[in-house]
Amino acid sequence: MRFAQVIGQEIIKERMIHGVRVGRIPHAQLILGAEGSGNLALALAYVQYILCNQPSETDSCGECSSCKKVSALIHPDVHFSFPFPKKAGEMEQCSDVYPQWRTALQEDPYLNYEDWMQQLNAENKQGNIPTKELRNIIKNISLKSYEGKMKVCLIWLPEYLGQEGNILLKSLEEPPEQTLFLLVGSDLDAILGTILSRTQLVRVAPIDDASLSLALQTRESIAADDAQRLAKVAQGNYRLARDLGKEAGNPHLDAWRIWMTICFRRKMGEAFQWSDDTASLGREGVKSFLLYGIQVLRTCAVLPYTGSEGLWEGPELDFVNKFNTLQLGEGVIGQMVTVLEKAFYGVERNGNAKVLLMDATYGLIQAISKKN
Ligand SMILES: [Zn+2]
């Protein structure tokens, strides 16, 4: 993958390229960015640039043998580790599921953990990076590089390293020469502190609206107006924007309107039906919906200060404006966001979506009742 194929993120690209050109490549880095920000895509472009035989001042060449191997995910000096559900005799180390990994990553470098689990048909099983794989990493970096340049160990989602991740500490601290550890994650709080303290943090911001909108137009053939609207709704998350773009209109907005009516009018009878309907979206759908709700609320909170300029447009903006006439106040909105975040993490950790949505409904009603 070339930097040109990564959506937006110009500042980080420049910083990475500059670092390589002046020979400053910290040996252990954590590339941290929210889902949909493209942190994995950036890491791939960075690796390709580092290993490219004829890099320009702005990108890898994309043509040399090294670039071709990196982009085909078959470069012998690039080792990938990632979570997967262990299964004795079948799936014990990353190489056992490498063909699936290649397919998933080549199809979509903006994939998330759930997409990957789906690729493995393991949606409800918990993945992790097992000890056997960690020993492979250590063995692998002790070998000489095949092509004479750097050896790269890319660990996707270090959040899934349990205590056994401490096996890597010594390697992270003092790796063999010409070895680069790239950890690519999203949730700082879920990564072992011992690992964090041994890596240099590279923060990846959400994708800017203009780049996101352009990507939706060119990659997803979404009309310019819709693309601009979706880019604002998704707030830097390409994966979410793309998903929302696949639907006609915005079904999340309709579901959200119904939910708010239920909460404000305390129509508990309807809440059961609504939770049932919404839970039928599946885990990913419910997560995407909750994320959308959080974004609606956050926009409501900032709108009185910023005005609508540069914020949402069309039906979303109408809704937010109407919602704000309720004058909930920042405290109440903050509590509502907390309720949604709690539900989001519950769903992410395989909780029962219907129960969590009902819980969240009670939580929202309680938060709203504190309105002065
Ligand atoms: Zn090249």
| 20-62 pLDDT per residue, tens | 999 999 999 999 999 999 999 999 999 999 999 999 999 999 9
- 24 located within any domain: yes
Together in a domain, 191 and 254: no
Question: What does the buried/exposed string (b/e) look like for 347-356 if buried means 16 or more CB atoms within 10 Å of the residue's CB?
Answer: bbeeeebbeb
Domain of 332 in residue numbering reads as 250-369
How many A from CA of 45 to the centre of ligand 1? 11
Confidence at 226, pLDDT banded by 50, 70, 90: confident
- 268 located within any domain: yes
CA separation for the pair 267, 128 (Å, rounded)? 41
Domain count, the chain: 2
| Stronger pLDDT, 206 or 318, i.e. the higher one | 206
Q: According to the model, what pLDDT value does residue 87 have?
A: 83
pLDDT tens, 306-336? 776 666 677 777 888 888 888 888 899 999 9
| Stronger pLDDT, 311 or 270, i.e. the higher one | 270
Q: Which two tokens stand for residue 275?
A: 């939770």
Together in a domain, 37 and 185: yes
Q: Would the pLDDT of 246 be above 80?
A: no
For residue 183, give the CATH number of its domain.
Answer: 3.40.50.300
How many A from CA of 93 to the centre of ligand 1? 30
Q: How far is CA 126 from CA 33, 86, 303, in A?
A: 22, 9, 39
- 209 located within any domain: no
How many A from CA of 241 to the centre of ligand 1? 31
How many A from CA of 39 to the centre of ligand 1? 21
How many A from CA of 60 to the centre of ligand 1? 5
Together in a domain, 255 and 165: no
pLDDT > 90 fraction of the chain, expressed in percent and rounded: 67
Q: According to the model, what pLDDT value does residue 332 have?
A: 92
Confidence at 123, pLDDT banded by 50, 70, 90: low
Together in a domain, 173 and 265: no
Q: Would the pLDDT of 253 be above 90?
A: no
- 52 located within any domain: yes
How many A from CA of 76 to the centre of ligand 1? 15
Q: Is 33 helix (H, G, I), strand (E, B) or coil?
A: strand
- 243 located within any domain: no
Which of 296, 295, 360, 301 minimizes the C-alpha distance to 328? 301
How many A from CA of 202 to the centre of ligand 1? 24
Instruction: Give the Cβ contact number of residue 244 at 10 Å.
Output: 24
How many A from CA of 55 to the centre of ligand 1? 6
> Looking at 204, 230, 259, which one is the last position of a domain?
204
- 185 located within any domain: yes
Q: Would the pLDDT of 247 be above 80?
A: no
Q: According to the model, what pLDDT value does residue 249 have?
A: 63
How many A from CA of 65 to the centre of ligand 1? 7
How many A from CA of 30 to the centre of ligand 1? 24
| Stronger pLDDT, 88 or 313, i.e. the higher one | 88
How many A from CA of 78 to the centre of ligand 1? 15
Strand partners, 81: 155
Mean pLDDT of the chain: 91
Instruction: Give the Cβ contact number of residue 124 at 10 Å.
Output: 8
CA separation for the pair 342, 351 (Å, rounded)? 11
